[in-house]
Amino acid sequence: MILGVIVLTGAILGRTMPADDSSTASQPAAQTSPIFTTAHRTVGDAVREFFGTRTKPVQPIAYTHKVHLANGMQCTDCHVGVDQGPDARIPSVNFCMTCHQVIATDKPEIKKLAAYRARGEDIPWQRVYGFEPSAHVKFNHAPHIRAGVDCAKCHGDMHTQTVAERKVDHTMGFCVECHRQNNASVDCVTCHF
Amino acid sequence: MQRRDFLKISAAGGAAAALEGCGNPDHQLIRFIPEEDLLPGIATWKPSICTLCPAGCGTLVRVMQGEAEVVRNGQLGILKMGLAKKIEGNPAHPINQGKLCPRGHAALQVTYHPDRIKTPLQRTGNRGSGQFKEITWDEAIKQLVSQLSALQASKEQGRLALLASPLRGERRTVLNNFAAGFKSAPPIEFEFFDNRVLQSANLQSFGHASLPTIDLGQSNYVISFGADFLGTWNSPVAQSVGYGHMRKGRPGQRGKFVQVESRVSQSGASADEFIACPNGVEGMFALSLAHVVLRDKLRAGDAAGHAGSLIDGWSQGLPDHAPEKIEKQIGVSAATVARIAHEAAAAGPAVVLIGDAATAQTNGLFNALAVNALNALLGSVGKPGGLSFGAGWSEPPASAAAGKGAADSIQKLVAQLQSGSDAARVLLLFNANPVFGTPAAWGVHDALGKVPFIASFGSFIDETSALADLILPDHSPLESWLDDVPASGSARTVVSLAPPAMNPLHDTRSMPDVLLDVAHQLGGDPAKALPWKTYDEALKATFTTLYIEKGSQTAKDPDEFWKKAQEQGGWWSADEKTPAPAVGKFSGSPAKIPAPQFDGAPEEFPFHFLPFASQMFYDGSLAHLPWMQEAPDPLSSVMWGTWVEINTRTAEKLGVKMGDTVEVASAHGKLQAPALVTPAIAPDLIAMPIGQGHENFTRYASGRGANPISILAPMTVESTQSLAWAATRVKVSRVGEGKIVMFGASMDETPASTKHR
Amino acid sequence: MAHQWGMVIDLDRCTGCEACVVACHAENNISTVGEDQAARGRAKHWIRVERYYEGEFPDVKTKFMPVLCQQCDAAPCEPVCPTFASYHTIEGLNGQVYNRCIGTRYCANACPYNVRFFNFYNPVWDKPLNLQLNPDVSVREVGVMEKCTFCVQRIKASEIQASSEKRDVKDGEIQPACVQSCPTKAMVFGDLSDPQSEVSRLARSNRATKLLGELGTLPKVTYLQRDSWHAGEDS
Amino acid sequence: MPAKTPEQINEDLLRPLGGASARYLTALAFFAGIVIAAFCAFGWQVYAGIGVAGIRRPVFWGFYITNFVFWIGLSHAGTLISAILRLANATWRRPVTRCAEVITVFALSIGATFPVIHLGKPWLAFWLFPYPSERGLWPNIRSPLLWDFFAINTYLLGSVTFLLLPMIPDMALIRDRATGLRKKIYSVAALGWRGTPKQWHRLESAMQIMAIAVIPVAVSVHSIVSWDFAMAPVPMWHSTIFAPYFVAGAIFSGIAALIIAMALLRKFLHLEEYLLRVHFENLGKLLLVMSLLWFYFVFAERLTAWYGNEPSEMTVFWVTQTGSYSPLFWLMVFCNFVVPFPILAIKKLRTITGTVIASIGVVIGMWLERFLIIVPSLSHKYLPYSWGTYRPTWVELTITAGTFAAMAMLYMLFAKTVPIISIWELKAKEHPTSDHAPALAQTAEEGAD
């Protein structure tokens, strides 16, 4: 019972972080570094991570994957670099505007896009997938693509999605099962380092 | 943890929990449109140059895309940009050959330092109070131009002083041209370890006013008088690469390394034979080695040529320096001297080095001349496995170094300010920190305080730039166009070049670009002296000259040459041919080796005082880097602090225990620091690392430890004006219990359990 | 057969300059802890240069010895971990799986070399020092044990690169940060399962010893003892 | 001393269960305050990081694991002693068994929290449970910490059963006398006890089985705790003597704790007529034996280390013998041997006060012993470059104080809810299986000899 109480207190208290950010005074010498920060911003974040729940991303522009793919575009047209390295690029507003300078300029979402560019701002996309820092996963797209893993295997069928949704739950079980089926390494440091 | 912190943090945590619904504050920052087109997660390597010490190592910077919080047009936002992530040695660079010292790695933190000056600043509070307000670049440059124009208007151009840490390559040209165009006095160069005594000796002995390039890799016998050539002296990485090769790079052949000094230095620790010798008698020791070589006819006397002729009694075989006669004075038995001389002569090629404390005695110049003569006698000059000079493309003009030290100019500046006649009215400061780097007895701080207007181009507020009225922050080296012309370290001619490795993080501007801008705004002669629009234009012009002078096998025109140099990290000659030995004829006016003088009566001040270059902080200019602060000193393992080295027996007599606070007092000041009791120092010597003791140098270095330079006596090296920083005597007393932070615990003796079996 | 990564450190070359120490900090996102915490023994240096003096001045002998995780084949740290956070990888490394670590610190007690470091607090990077962080390496949070990984991120990157080029990793292709920076080339890294590799060749030297070899931990780091100079040996 | 009637026994032993006095409440509040402070300290540690404790490199285990071993050791007071005495049919044991068994349950629960408290991430402690997860990961059965986990849980389960079984008839007794809510609660606890011969028989055989089963479990628990240390190649840890040494030490400290608990109960619950000098004297003799045994083990451990002269072991040996830890070492010898030996060996001194003084010495001494096993070895492990020291912070001190307060508080609460002396066993004559349970009067007479 005591153990239970401690575990619970731990779970709740353990992973929060003080909100105060050192003020940006112009006087460097007066500042001192804090001894610690906590692993999470808030108690809520800590609890959410403990139970593995994530908030749904809200995208600033209702980008539709369906339409782009239906028009014959490929994933790698925008997500450049996914076959070369760990991450796929999320295109910047400039990249979108190479086409949308002329295409569908009257649509409300495209107007939003143009407005961002006019203000000199990039689109603040929110992450859909991605691992918690405390999961310490070093995922690398390129070897997976070289091994012929279909994008949909991990991201769901984007032909049916408008804004990207978390269709696949990237749990460790999901990864390990696929690795096992394909005789890929399941050594821990394959992904965790 | 203080209770106060607890309450504060609890409250903050609670507030955070309450505000949680507002979402991640990072998401509330706007995102700027990226300026570069980078692939996430993929590293590119860009050549750069290490600027933290004069060695001029070539580096490769690993650049990856990252998200930086930056201010653009007065607004805080997130920008995806290429960020330097790691610095490695450039394998193609002839100096460091892909290797790097600890300081070079930490250069990364200069760019990302939290206390870097982010915008131009104008002083608001009293001088030195550290109160500044942020201004725009237009305002800042306007202020500087108006100050300079005022000097021009009153025909007082000579009252502009420029104070810089030694610059090389095109930056030096820009600064010199600016001074010349403005008709001010030439820039004053200041750094603590300026090596000018050795440069001066080399000029006299060999006709080269530079430090030697040492071919350790092919040497079989290395004798070093006080030079910490594996730690900080001259070109330490190049020398370490050579040392590794000397020790184990040639199958079946292993060179011997003998270190002669009064405290086991970073280099001395690796010696095959360590010979203790009091400070100041290094020259005598060298000459007694020469005596044995001459006496036993191991080499002919005239082999030393001109270098030998400078030494009194050389032609007679140095009768006064027979080891038997001087063994008491140098504290080394005649048998040892004879053995070393025979070993060195037989092993060949042999090379003798001198540097650091051995040249910072009042008789340092003569010590260096003696070692030069010994080198010449052993036939080490200009030979494989020996030392060579003059590989640099544009060696500093001989007159700059000959017979005068940094002290000369800075003391003159101070004297003028103190007397008020011809005193500087405007001072431009380029990273030099003489307030920290000169003895308090010189009065630099108060004198500089009298300058009506000081503008600093540094990236940090330090003891000297804290006096500034205007701060025009420079880019960090990684954000700048860099070039360098190292004078030693490689037998090849090297001209390093690097474009910026990353875009600037803050609202800073490159110092040479600002000077060009200021010169153009002033118009007239200054503008004519600096005809380039930007600094890279100036660099390109220089590389065109270089192409024309040296030619190139790979580039067909100057443009391609310029491009290839940027990709490679510079240009270097293909051949490693050392210039012909500049030994010269057997002539010259002989000089006797004078006895060293020390400040302070031995009765009152029983110990010699030896400040030494810190492996992590060099001359103190790197104390602001947290990696350097936390890296344990290799010998003492001290982190985040300073220490006073005291011999075990001496400490016992003084009743001092490890970590006790002791007071070290010279006739010119005193300081307190924790004691480090060690067997690796002479019993009559007190040593202290230079680097800590900053009053005002970012959050990581301010108010930490004590500065040994401050208590030094204003002694100069005879026949030069350089500070004889190892010529002070001190007394030591225990103050009480203290605190010393060490990474290593018990390291005095290897216990049996750690000995390899 | 899987690679067996190993290292040789030549103490006759090592000058104790600590370039490796700082290179490791830069490569592996090792946080600095500040003076107070350093005084409490919480400083983290995955590789350290141990210095020992023997004798009295002037006959004092100094010995430098870089100590990093020895990646033992019979590692005492591995069996004691209740959650398999510390385990033996296929390539013979002592893996440390941060996300699996619950912080019993048992591994650190069991390790005879004291090369394991614990995150007593969540690490602090004063902005913008956080921008220097290497994205290829995890940032370890509070309560987690960490230690030298032989720069596993570099090993993985080279292996992925080699496999994409359909070849094996070349000898000398992988250099951990310490090896890469070492000015005297005192450190050599490579595959011990390949008898032709530089590291295997050096590990067979008659100067080769293992640190605390008598404990039977079978370290994969080999030290080459200091050599001495004898007059006339070379000529 | 005249034999007590069953009614008197009921009266005397059920009296403490009545209302709480002001003195009782004050003491309870005092201990509760310390426990709350300890919880706050733990909360702070979880929030800020375990860095608020004094542990450091290389002493990664400090007060917490000391407390863990100490409390687990203390837990051997009860169940083990009571089981041995039960099996040996030592009749004088009857008033002693329950207060001993309670010590076990509480000390074990407190001790078992320390491995969680000392974790870097205590909220992940459940990873020690072998449960199926989608990750396909199980705990590492090679880790002594996992052995601990199973051993302690087994022992805790066994001890709780061993405590609860003989409580059933007493619960029934209280149930029969209580009304209202209390009656309902005690009815549940009495598990439908009617006092039928069949029930008595079952109880007796269950007790017999438990007593036999719990002894190897108890021995294994402290052996396994010792293996937490002995399995690691740490100087002075890696020793075959550790398992018996720890078990002996555990029983040693357990008896001492029992003597102190009995003395306090005797004084505050006015049980002078039940907890007699004979009990203290008999336990005192046991304590004397254990003191000698402990000394023998320490001597054997130190002698072999010294004679072997293994350099890394000798470092730790000398640092405890003459170095910075020597004051603690000699204090330990003083507390564990110099004080108890004469007191317990000389019959005249083996009084209630005497045994209590000896016991206090032993509890302090045994805590020091645990500390001296853990800290000096870790702080002087092999390479001298990374030696270190250890100093606890207020967090560790508060939590340590909190556990002692928790013990006191739990004991006080227990004494308020359950008769601390087994009533039915004292009235052994009355129930049917009295053939191997002589009367209390007889015991008292034996004591008077």
Q: Tell me the three state secondary structure of residue C52.
A: strand
Q: Is A59 exposed, middle or buried (0-12, 13-18, 19+ CB in 10 A)?
A: middle
- The CA–CA distances, whole Å, from B67 to A124, B108, B397, B475, C40 equal 12, 17, 46, 19, 34
Residue from A193, C51, C90 nearest B637 by CA: C51
- Predicted pLDDT of residue D96: 86
Residue from B483, B440, B432 nearest B728 by CA: B440
Alpha-carbon distance A79 to nearest alpha carbon in chain B (angstroms): 10
**Statement: residue B15 has pLDDT above 90:** no
- Predicted pLDDT of residue B13: 41
- Predicted pLDDT of residue D263: 93
**Statement: residue B582 has pLDDT above 80:** no
Q: How many Å separate Cα D405 from the centre of its chain?
A: 14
Note whether B1 and D54 are within 8 A (CB).
no
Write down which chains contact chain A via at least 3 CB pairs under 8 A: B, C, D
What distance separates the 2 farthest-apart alpha carbons in chain A? Answer: 66
Helices (H) and strands (E) in chain C, counts: 7, 10
Q: Tell me the three state secondary structure of residue B293.
A: helix
pLDDT tens readout for residues B590-641: 778 889 999 999 999 999 999 999 999 999 999 999 999 999 999 999 999 9
Rounded to 10 degrees, what is the CA torsion of B162, B167, B171, B173? 70
In angstroms, rounded to a whole number, what is the distance separating the alpha carbons of residues B39 and B57? Answer: 29
- Contact residues on chain C for A22, CB-CB shorter than 8 A: 126-127
pLDDT tens readout for residues A80-137: 989 888 998 899 999 999 999 998 889 999 999 999 999 999 999 998 988 888 899 9
Using the beta-carbon criterion (under 8 Å), do C42 and D51 form an inter-chain contact? yes
- Predicted pLDDT of residue B408: 64
ipTM field: 0.90
Segment B333-350 mean pLDDT: 93
Question: The tokens of B194 are what?
Answer: 């300026």
- Predicted pLDDT of residue A10: 44
pLDDT tens readout for residues B383-441: 889 998 866 666 554 444 444 455 568 888 999 999 888 889 999 999 999 999 999 99
Amino acid at A188: C
Note whether B569 and B61 are within 8 A (CB).
no
Residue from D141, D150, D128 nearest D221 by CA: D150
Residue from B506, B266, B293 nearest B379 by CA: B293
A7: left (phi over 0), alpha (psi -120 to 50) or beta: alpha
Question: The tokens of C122 are what?
Answer: 């969540």
The residues, any chain, with a CB within 8 Å of residue C46's CB and separated by 6 or more, are C24, C28, C30, C68, C69, C115, C117, C146, C147, C148
Three-state SS string over D426-440 comes to HCHHHCCCHHHCCCH
pLDDT tens readout for residues B296-339: 999 888 888 888 888 888 888 899 999 999 999 899 999 999 99
Can you spell out the DSSP letters for C138-176? PPP-TT-EEE--SSHHHHHHHHHHHHHTTSPPPTTT---
Strand order in B570-572's β-sheet? Answer: B482-484, B494-498, B570-572
> Chain A within 8 Å of C231 (Cβ-Cβ)?
no
Can you spell out the DSSP letters for D355-414? HHHHHHHHHHHHHHHHHHHHHHHHHT-S-GGG-------HHHHHHHHHHHHHHHHHHHHH
Using the beta-carbon criterion (under 8 Å), do D384 and B747 form an inter-chain contact? yes
| Surface of B (95-114) touching C: CB under 8 A | 96, 98-106, 108-109, 112-114
- C206-209 own/partner pairs: CB under 8 Å, 24+ apart: C207/C12, C208/C8, C209/B756, C209/B757
> Chain A within 8 Å of C137 (Cβ-Cβ)?
yes
The total of other beta-carbon atoms located within 10 Å of residue D338's CB is 16
C122 beta partners: A37
Q: What pTM was estimated for this model as a whole?
A: 0.91
HSE value, Cβ hemisphere, 13 Å, CA-based, for B755? 8
Amino acid at D34: I
Write down which chains contact chain B via at least 3 CB pairs under 8 A: A, C, D
Question: Which residue of D lies nearest to B749 if distances are taken between CA atoms?
Answer: D384
Alpha-carbon distance D37 to nearest alpha carbon in chain C (angstroms): 22
Using the beta-carbon criterion (under 8 Å), do C182 and B704 form an inter-chain contact? no
- Contact residues on chain D for A38, CB-CB shorter than 8 A: 47-49
Using the beta-carbon criterion (under 8 Å), do A15 and D49 form an inter-chain contact? no
Amino acid at A71: N
Helices (H), ranges, chain C: 19-27, 34-39, 77-80, 106-110, 152-164, 177-181, 198-203
B609 beta partners: B686, B728
In angstroms, rounded to a whole number, what is the distance separating the alpha carbons of residues C138 and A192? Answer: 8
The residues, any chain, with a CB within 8 Å of residue D232's CB and separated by 6 or more, are C76, C80, C106, C109, C110, D238
Q: Tell me the three state secondary structure of residue C188.
A: strand
D426: left (phi over 0), alpha (psi -120 to 50) or beta: alpha
Question: The tokens of A127 are what?
Answer: 């992450």
Note whether B476 and B440 are within 8 A (CB).
no
- Predicted pLDDT of residue B580: 55
- Predicted pLDDT of residue B401: 45
Share of residues in chain A with pLDDT > 90 (%): 48
pLDDT tens readout for residues D399-413: 999 999 999 999 999
Selecting from B635, B647, B704 the residue whose C-beta is nearest the C-beta of C51 gives B635
Residue from B195, B67, B87 nearest B482 by CA: B87
Using the beta-carbon criterion (under 8 Å), do A189 and C97 form an inter-chain contact? yes
- Predicted pLDDT of residue D422: 84
Backbone angles phi, psi at B366, to 5 degrees: -75, -35
- Predicted pLDDT of residue B403: 43
- Predicted pLDDT of residue B483: 93
- Predicted pLDDT of residue B382: 86
The stretches in chain D having pLDDT less than 50 are: 1-2, 430-449
Using the beta-carbon criterion (under 8 Å), do A10 and D121 form an inter-chain contact? yes
- Predicted pLDDT of residue D418: 87
In angstroms, rounded to a whole number, what is the distance separating the alpha carbons of residues D435 and C198? Answer: 82
Mean of all residue pLDDT scores within chain B: 88
- Predicted pLDDT of residue B194: 84
Three-state SS string over B313-339 comes to CCCCCCHHHCHHHHHHHHCCCHHHHHH
Which residue has better confidence, B751 or B550?
B550
Residue from C24, C227, C15, C181 nearest B240 by CA: C15
- The CA–CA distances, whole Å, from C75 to C220, D50, D107, D140 equal 10, 26, 34, 15
